[in-house]
Structure 1
Amino acid sequence: MKFSEQWLRELVNPAIDTQGLVDQVTMAGLEVDEVEPVAKAFSGVVVGEILTAEQHPDADKLQVCQVTDGTETFQVVCGAPNARAGLKTAFATLGAELPTPDGTVFKIKKAKLRQVESFGMLCAEDELGIADNHAGIMELPADAPVGTCLRDYLNLNDQVIDVDLTPNRGDCLSIIGLAREVGVLNKAPVADVPDTETAPVIDDTFPVTLAAPEDCPRYVGRVIRNINPLAETPVWMQQRLERSGIRCIDPVVDVTNYVLLEFGQPMHAFDLDKLSGGINVRRAEQGEKLVLLDGQEIELNADTLVIADANGPVAMAGIMGGEPTSVTDATQHIFLESAFFNPISIAGRARSYGLHTDSSHRFERGVDWQLQVRAVNRATQLLLDIVGGEAGPVIETVETEALPANRQVRLRQSKIDAMLSFAMPATEVEEILTRLGMIVEPSAVAGEWLVSVPSYRFDIALEVDLIEELARVYGYNNLPVRTPTASLPLKSDDETQAKIGTLRRSLVAMGYQEAITYSFIEAGLQKQFDDQYEALALANPISAEMAVMRTTLWPGLTKALQYNQNRQQSRVRLFETGQRFLAEADTVVQENVLAGLISGKRQPEGWQATKDVVDFFDLKGDVENLLALAGAKGEFTFVADRHVALHPGQTARIEKQGETVGFMGALHPNLIKSLDLDGPVYLFEIRLQPLLRGVLPRYQEISKFPESRRDLAVVVDEQVAFEQVRALASENAGSYLKQITLFDVYQGQGIDPGRKSLALGLTWQHPSRTLNDEEINSAVDAIVSALASTVGASLRE
């Protein structure tokens, strides 16, 4: 919010300079973005009056003017097209110093233009650093006192301060609110705006109905007839509006804007003759249209609160008025409105139409719900002084039950001491809160207060809010500096749990790079990757490509692969840890998973590298390395399965003790084609919780005795998985079996169709002695017998 320092100091004038005021306000939480002088430094410029203006004898675009400063008359040559007799303007006398764009000073001296002497200069606004206007010399009001210093007449010895308020401090979106804050910080008295009630001189009213009282519980209106539409806004009001960043339009609109700046209460004035039937505050009907004051026609949504008459909407409540009922130069009768709108009903509505107004900015943050009648009285007084007219009675329509409740908050001295780390005196607590406009009453409990919060402080509802106010006003820089102490016991390291950092480092060591993709993806792509879970749709997505929450990390990784391949990256290895979002019953399960992807050549380019591309077993090897990190690799198994996103013949379900924990395999050819990828592509995804959960490492003494090895070649049906063969061999090999290695798989000549040969290397080792041949042969016979009876295996001839 921008405001004039002079205007503020009319209400509260602490004994500090501009910089001190700015620093103080900033330290109190109202950050000052910028301080700018109203005008650049100049001197020797007064209000002058052009007595005569005659054509220059030797120049078509120059005039020779006779200008008076109230005591003397001077001849001045001027080239401005608007120079004319009777005009009062800015007159720079001889010796005056004017600013220049490069920061230097230009001194006015006697000059001669086309052989005609000139004793001074008539100035445009940009030549004085007041504004950018250079269409002509300044035109001052007819009642401007000739000879008066221009800086004094226009109050140019002023600063414009721009405060960036946080959303919770809507009470400071007014000059009164800022003055109240400065007064509190400096323990200085604050002059209040007189609360004058204008007695009605006519009985005219305009009916008001609240069809949506929960959105608008209070609506105040007043009829004013027979105003002077040709009246002009006083210079002092124009200055304050312009210095606050508001353009002057006409006296009626200017007054409503002035009250908005003064009290923080948005107001609106309708042309009474353009209203029909009565005012009805209601929700819009879907598709209703309204032409706004800026000329834009909008189609209203059903959740938008409107001010309507018998013919339809005439304004968007709390946002902007409509053009058909606006005040114009021909308006003679007006209807003033001042309302309280529930912030929830206004929040976000302006943005949904691409709008942002001073009114919506305030109503979204909360307006004092007890201010409406006072604002109408203040606006009435200003209007009658400026445009005249006859005022009717103030009509207030209110739904008391829908108004905000008066708030009372319990405050404890012990809580203050704990949070501020020092014992603030009780007298200081009461004084600060009282200066903030609160009513402080001792509680029945010693060391406690009951604090009644004023209606303009929407942001105070809890005890901590009051303590924050105490710290803010007392001064953050005045609070004691204390080193926090805390008990920091060492947390035990669970050795049965692997660390996510260990997984990441392992994958990086295997040549992967970590990716971070969006948690929301395109709905169609999601269905291609997961047909088991229905994706959660976002209520307000950024775009159609980010409309649903992911149930798997694969879509994001494949899009990352696509991005890289489109930029000539032929070898890609990516992994990501993140959450997937699964809808189960009435809840959303957010599950942490680890996913990875490989594509391209098996080895990086090099003079020793082969040109082989990755295959299923490259990915399986990487996954097995991850499964081994927690020391529980033996608890995981790979089972052939099907998945909508994976190749039907190259898909494995990863299980841990019978529980499905993930999938891996080749990306489905249809997906490779639809995503325009260079295949093949292999992916895995594993739930993190079972992956990280391992076993406690235990020391086992290394045997000093030799190993014994036997090789077996067994023939089984090609559908039989090695895992089943390995499990049977391990179960029947005795307790001293150390390792089973599959070192050959063969199908072809000498093997029946539909069968395959698996060559197993079996290693035994006893911890305290050498195993004899009888023990080994017995174990081998047990293995062969178990394989034959369970999976129909036979020894290869």
Structure 2
Amino acid sequence: MRVPVSWLTDYTDLPADTTARDLADRLIALGLEVETVDRVGADITGPVSVGRVLDIEELTGFKKPIRYCRVDVGAANGTGEPQHIVCGARNFGAGDLVVVALPGAELPGGFAIGARKTYGRVSEGMICSAAELQLWEDHTGIIVLPAGSAEPGGDAYGLLGLREDVLDIAVTPDRGYALSVRGVAREAATAYGTDFRDPADVEAAGTPGDGYPAAVADSAICSRYVLHGVTGFDPEAPTPLWMKRRLALTGVRSVSLAVDVTNYVMMELGQPLHAWDRSALRGPIEVRLARPGEELETLDHVKRALDPDDILITDESGPINLAGVMGGVTTEIGLSSTDVLVEAAHFADTHIARASRRHQLSSESSRRFERGVDSAVQPAAATRAVRLLAELGGGAVDAGYTDIADEAAAAPQPIDIAADHPDRIAGVAYGRERVVRRLQQVGCTVEQEGAAMLRVTPPTWRPDLGDPNDLAEEVVRIEGYDAVPSIPPRAPAGRGLTPSQRLRRSVGSRLAATGFTEVLAYPFMGQRDLDGLQADGDDVRRTALRLANPLSEDEPLLRTTLLPGLSKTLVRNVGRGFNDVALYEIGLVYLPRPDAPGRAPMLAVDRGPTADEAESVARALPDQPRRVGAVLAGDREPGGWQGAGRPATWADAVETAREVARSANAELIVRAAHYAPWHPGRCAALYVRIGGAERLVGHAGELHPRAVSAYGLPQRTVAVEVDLDAVEAAGEPVAAPHVSGYPVALQDVALVVPDGVPAADVEQALRAGAGELLEGVRLFDVYTGEQVGEGRRSLAYSLRFRAPDRTLETEEIARARDAAVAAAAERTGAVLRG
């Protein structure tokens, strides 16, 4: 919300020495997010004054019409003599008042004004347009001031508001009242302790009940509905310059007088309005929900299929407005509209928010409705609008107006609060009197309920105040957050990181040391992400929790795998020129429980949960295992002077999983598998032993080409995903190893096995047969060819033997090696290669 300071000061008198920066600091202290203070027009300098066109000479012989004007600028030029100015605009005539930039002035963009010869004449200045002064968007010609609004030589800075301080405020969803000059002025009055003049303090004009016929189908979707009209309106009446300027400063483009008035009142009071051409309406108006199959062409000329949750404004012809979001084209105000009907309503905020998101239409109106507008300002807003239309457009205000109200639905509910509740929340002794005074400053009505309690009724413009904690927050913020003492909690002695925290740090350190970069992806996904992973229709990863209020309809689900977020992050990095990428993430996935209740209970905020309440919340929550995911693309080892690089392969993904297991001191078992989105034949299933039984903890390998294509990944991208909680459960306590000082003995064996026998099974058999003297096993060669026969391969292993207390003899080494080979032959059918 952009708020011109001069508009704000119409409703409260700030101290004389207050600067815009001081005001911003005060508002920030009250909790409003003032992002910037813009000095609009600060780049306009020098003499810019009012001039009267005395006469015009039309110059001929040029490619476009050129006029040589004699302009009276009074004493602004220091001589009192008329200025001679060349101008190409044609929307003014002799006798008109215009804005003149005299020699010595400088306009936005560093455009210096001086006397110069052009089109064969000397031009002593420039007659200015609104665009040249950056007042508002207008390229139709120069500014023509209303007759009698100023005298020649008068200062144009104050007349047009050329220089203005504008506060740019980022309004949070709970402070919808700040989307208006009225709301911000009230906050400024509170900050400085000055009087507030409410622009909504307007008595409705006319007789209620005698306006345009209307009905509301359900007060739950619209608690108040007001219609007020103007007849005899001049549709060609111009919007006054002051209104155009204020709208432009707030970021609103001027359209026509009727539209500008509704926008002006919306910015002033925070109440969205809509104006119809009354002659285009067909019969009574009804506010209702949409019916199946209904459509509406909105003002942006898009035909929209309506949802039964959409609130509509209808007449006998059908839908004419998508309530609170955008109007329809059939009743649009045009240049022939002489009878105007103004609507001011209080629609249900949740319906408007959903409709705006559903139709991807975010308007100034919907932004206010979805944050909550004043439920009692509608008659005042409609009255303010029709009076402006009548005053500026020459019409007459209707004698009666329509006012449909459900007082019970619109009235704020009283809140009982302990007088010392803000004291206990903030840890500051405010006292009863200060609490009452601050709540009254907010606009609340406070009734004394005994010595310890207060009954507080929030104002109609603060729908966000719903419980004692909201009221306590108001007291705290007005008293000043800086007055709340900062007392850091004292950490209990002797406690450090938990084992799980130490493991996560160890995994992160290991992966970072091997060239990975950690990323944090959003924990959301959509079914399209799982389609890209080539997940089957019955894949358990497709059973996901849907968010009640997703940030994007493309990602409405909580993730059940880390791969979509990692894949999208990899694509972004590659798209920015990083071809060799290794990314990892440690995060939670969310797996729904089959026996979980439909919705978690809402707990009280004034106390901790009971054991039963805590258990009910735990049952409603999904399982949230912590996983480690990683993706690699490009070269794993970059090329250079030492030789060519090595691209990342499925083996690197498996080794990444082994690094995770080593961090937990767990043994990882690797077997070939077939599991989406990995490539068949290049996918490994990862297991650990927990309590003597094997447990699947993840997969690693090269991604399937279809998954690579779906996400736009580089060719031969590899990935791994491991359940870190399960790996942690399989880990053994870490003991300091005994380092033997005796020499190591190396033995190489080459075993011929069928192609279908995994190398991991052969290694496991060798370890089991070799006994305690075996220190390590390493596969260093794989051979296939005529020498071993078709359907067979040779696996060459290096065995390291060492004893902790002696030098091994040749016979001991040979027995251990033979025992290892025998165990491999028994378990896997391996044959020692000759």
Unpaired segments ≥5 residues, structure 2:
597-621
Q: Residues of 2 paired with 1:679 and 1:140: CA distance?
A: 67
RMSD: 5.9
| Per-residue deviation, residues 5-40 of structure 1 (Å, max 9, x unmatched) | 343323211223333334433433331623435684
Report the CA distance shift for 1:728/1:428 in structure 2 as closer, same or farther (over 3 A).
same
Q: SS of 2:39's equivalent?
A: strand
Equivalent residue for 2:149? 144
Deviation of 1:456 (Å) = 0.3
Question: 1:585 — aligned with what?
Answer: 594
The equivalent residue for 2:725 is 689
Q: 1:253 to 1:598 in 2, by over 3 A?
A: closer
Counterpart contact for 2:108–2:134, Cα < 8 Å: no
Deviations along 1:423-463, one digit per CA (max 9) or x if unpaired, are: 224332222221221122344463x5332211101232343
SS at structure 2 position matched to 1:365: coil
Q: Given residue 688 of structure 1, which amino acid in structure 2 is its aligned partner? A: L
The aligned counterpart of 2:93 is: 84
The alignment-based identity, stated in percent, is: 26
1:688 CA displacement: 1.1
Query: 1:600/1:126 Cα in 2 relative to 1: closer, same or farther (>3 Å)?
Result: closer
Tell me how far apart the structure 1 counterparts of residues 107 and 681 of structure 2 sit (CA, whole Å): 79
Aligned amino acid, residue 461 of structure 2: Y
Q: How many residues align?
A: 778
1:163 aligns with 2:168: yes
Shift of 1:311: 0.7
Secondary structure at 2:191's aligned position in 1?
helix
Matches within 5 A, 1:563-602: 577-582=586-591, 585=594, 588-595=622-629
Consecutive unaligned residues of structure 1, counting only runs of 5 or more, are none
Alignment of 1:478-557 (within 5 A): 479=483, 482-491=486-495, 499-507=503-511, 520=525, 522-527=529-534, 532-536=539-543
Deviations 1:173-215 (A, max 9, x none): 2232222222212221222344223234x99533212235432
Q: Find the aligned partners of 1:606 and 1:97 in 2 and give their Cα distance.
A: 63
**Structure 1 position 184 matched with structure 2 position 179:** no
**Residues 457-491 of structure 1 deviation map (CA, whole Å, 9 limit, x = unaligned):** 123234343333333323445x2654534234232
* Aligned match of 1:396: 403
- Aligned partners of 2:507 and 2:659 also within 8 Å: no
User: Within 2, Cα distance between the matches of 1:103 and 1:403?
Assistant: 53
Contact 2:35 2:169 in 1 (8 A): yes
The answer to whether residue 297 in structure 2 is matched with residue 260 in structure 1 is no
Q: Is the 8 A contact 1:48 1:91 kept in 2?
A: no
Shift of 1:329: 4.2
Cα 1:784/1:113, change in 2 over 3 Å: closer
Q: CA separation in 2, counterparts of 1:610 and 1:38?
A: 61
Following superposition, the deviation at residue 640 of structure 1 comes to 6.2
What displacement does 1:152 show?
Answer: 8.7
Spell out, residue by residue over 1:464-521, the C-alpha distance to the aligned partner (whole angstroms, 9 max, x if none).
43333333323445x2654534234232566799613323444555666667778647
Aligned mates of 1:615, 1:36 — CA distance in 2: 58
Q: What SS does structure 2 have at the residue aligned with 1:345? A: helix
Cα separation, 1, equivalents of 2:542 and 2:295: 36
Q: How much does 1:117 deviate?
A: 11
Equivalent residues in 2 for 1:26-425 (5 A)?
A: 26-30=28-32, 31=34, 33-36=36-39, 40=44, 45-46=49-50, 48=52, 50=54, 61-63=66-68, 65=70, 76-80=83-87, 81=90, 84-90=93-99, 98-100=105-107, 123-125=127-129, 129=133, 131=135, 138-144=143-149, 146=151, 149-151=154-156, 154=159, 156=161, 159-167=164-172, 168-193=174-199, 194-200=201-207, 205-229=211-235, 237-285=243-291, 288-293=294-299, 296-302=301-307, 303-347=309-353, 349-350=355-356, 353=359, 355-386=361-392, 387-389=394-396, 391-400=398-407, 402-403=409-410, 405-408=412-415, 410-413=417-420, 415-425=421-431
The reply on whether 1:662 has 2:669 as its aligned counterpart is: no
Change (3 A) 1:270 1:441: same
One-letter amino acid of the counterpart of residue 693, structure 2: G
Larger Rg: 1
- CA shift for structure 1 position 340: 0.5
Contact 1:598–1:682, Cα closer than 8 Å, also in 2: yes
**TM (normalized to structure 2)?**
0.73
Q: Which whole-Å CA distance do the structure 2 matches of 1:197 and 1:612 have between them?
A: 79
- How far apart are 1:306 and its partner, in Å? 2.2
Using the alignment, how far apart are the partners of 1:121 and 1:613 within structure 2?
A: 69
Give how far 1:339 is off: 0.6
The Cα of 1:653 is off from its aligned counterpart by 5.0
SS at match of 1:154: helix
Q: Deviations over 1:375-403 (max 9, x none)?
A: 22333444444433252422222345654
Structure 1 residues 116 and 290, CA gap change in structure 2 (3 angstroms)? same
Q: Cα deviations across residues 51-108 of structure 1 (Å, max 9, x unaligned)?
A: x5566999995556585969x9965534344553443445789xx9744558799799
Q: Are 1:654 and 1:660, in contact at CA under 8 Å, matched by a contact in 2?
A: yes
For residues 561 and 341 of structure 2, the distance between their equivalents in structure 1, rounded to whole angstroms, comes to: 60
The residue type paired with residue 260 of structure 1 is M
Distance verdict in 2 for CA 1:543–1:764, change over 3 Å: same
CA–CA distance in structure 2, aligned partners of residues 411 and 15 of structure 1: 35
The C-alpha deviation readout for 1:726-749, integer Å capped at 9, x for no partner, is: 98999999xx94548779999999
1:678/1:114 CA distance change after superposition, 3 Å: closer
- Larger CA deviation: 165-174 vs 403-412: 403-412
Query: Where do residues 464-475 of structure 1 align in structure 2 (5 Å cutoff)?
Result: 464-475=469-480
C-alpha spacing 1:49/1:409, structure 2 compared with 1 (3 Å): farther
CA distance in 2, matches of 1:92, 1:752: 95
Closer, same or farther: CA 579–278 of 1 in aligned 2, 3 Å: same
Alignment check: 8 A CA contact 2:2 2:167 kept:
yes
Partner Cα distance (1:75, 1:743) in 2: 99
Distance 1:789 1:152 in 2: 99
Q: 1:78 to 1:444 in 2, by over 3 A?
A: same
TM-score (norm 1): 0.76
Asked whether the equivalents of residues 284 and 300 of structure 1 are also in contact (C-alpha less than 8 Å), the reply is: no
Q: Deviations over 1:255-314 (max 9, x none)?
A: 3333223322122222222111211222345664444445x2332431432211111222
Which residue is equivalent to 1:15?
15
CA distance in 1, matches of 2:148, 2:542: 72
Q: 1:568 to 1:455 in 2, by over 3 A?
A: closer
Check whether the contact 2:700–2:721 (CA below 8 A) recurs between aligned residues: no
Aligned position for 2:611: none
Contact map agreement 2:412 2:457 (CA 8 A) in 1: no
Q: Is the 8 A contact 2:532 2:707 kept in 1?
A: no
Aligned residue type for 1:358: E
Following the alignment from structure 2 to structure 1, what is the Cα–Cα distance between the partners of residues 117 and 647?
89
Instruction: Please point out which of 23, 26, 34 is paired with 1:24.
Output: 26
Q: Check 1:692–1:195 CA distance in 2 against 1; reply closer, same or farther (3 A cut).
A: same
| Structure 2 CA distance for aligned equivalents of residues 212 and 73 of structure 1 | 68
Contact 1:26 1:32 in 2 (8 A): no
